[in-house]
């Protein structure tokens, strides 16, 4: 299975870039703890500036509801007002309010064990991310038969059971992040992938999940 983010990119990378957020504050995480907010942020990161009305049409939601969630994202500084330079070449209406993503990706790290509010917010955020991933996978499942057989055979839902130590698991996560970094990435608002994309290239959701099988008993940490 394929995060990123998903344009929302919640997984912490081996190399944090300057265009990424590292969010541990409960208030900031709570702003992202909603599947629709994550989707709105992802759309702004993938396709560039947009309005509540345009995003509502894409998300099959009311403009009023989308406006509320956009304001919540803005209050937490995940999105900002688009500038005239950002809107160059875009047909706009004087009364429209245009938003853009403040950064390309967002990473999180586990909050301090004593910060119960942050821990709860982190769990809510992770649940929203998982819901978004599930929705995207389910949407592909419903639409796959409208795509060519070549694309159907190129896609997969798969997993593997591995017997690893924490260090090996961390290395696996970093290796997978490095592997994804080798491929052409969609740049925010570019309308196409960075660089010269070959004919036939489309946006591909590359999501991956790495965690201990929850059906076993937790192993004790280092003493």
Residue ranges with strand state E in the chain: 20-23, 50-51, 79-81, 98-101, 105-108
Residue 141 lies in a domain: yes
Tell me the residue range of the domain where 104 lies.
6-88+95-181
Q: In the structure encoding, which two tokens stand for residue 12, read together?
A: 């912490």
Predicted confidence (pLDDT) per residue in 63-110, tens digit: 999 999 999 999 999 999 999 888 888 888 778 899 999 988 888 888
Residue 187 lies in a domain: no
Residue 57 lies in a domain: yes
Residue 216 lies in a domain: no
| Structural domains in the chain (count) | 1
Q: Is 13 helix (H, G, I), strand (E, B) or coil?
A: coil
Predicted confidence (pLDDT) per residue in 142-164, tens digit: 999 999 999 999 999 998 999 99
Residue 213 lies in a domain: no
CATH number of domain containing 136 = 1.10.10.10
CA gyration radius for the chain?
A: 19
Residue 148 lies in a domain: yes
């Amino acid at each position: 299975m394929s995060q990123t983010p998903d344009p929302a990119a919640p997984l912490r990378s081996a190399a944090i870039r300057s265009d990424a957020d590292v969010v541990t504050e409960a208030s900031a995480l709570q702003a992202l703890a909603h599947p629709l907010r994550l989707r709105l942020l992802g759309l702004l990161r993938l396709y560039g500036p947009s309005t509540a009305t345009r995003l509502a049409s894409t998300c099959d939601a009311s403009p009023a509801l989308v406006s509320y969630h956009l304001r919540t994202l803005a209050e937490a500084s995940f999105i900002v007002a688009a500038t005239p330079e950002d809107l160059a070449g875009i047909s706009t209406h004087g009364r429209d309010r245009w938003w853009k993503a403040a950064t390309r990706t967002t990473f999180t790290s586990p909050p301090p064990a004593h910060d119960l509010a942050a821990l709860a917010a982190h769990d809510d955020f992770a649940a929203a991310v998982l819901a978004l991933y599930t929705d995207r996978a389910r949407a592909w499942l419903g639409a796959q038969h409208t795509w060519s057989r070549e694309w159907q055979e190129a896609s997969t839902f798969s997993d593997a059971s591995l017997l690893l130590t924490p260090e090996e698991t961390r290395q696996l996560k970093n290796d997978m992040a490095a592997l994804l970094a080798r491929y052409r990435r969609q740049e925010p608002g570019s309308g196409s992938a960075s660089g010269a994309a070959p004919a036939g290239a489309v946006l591909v959701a590359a999501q991956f999940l790495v965690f201990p099988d929850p059906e076993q008993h937790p192993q004790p940490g280092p003493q």
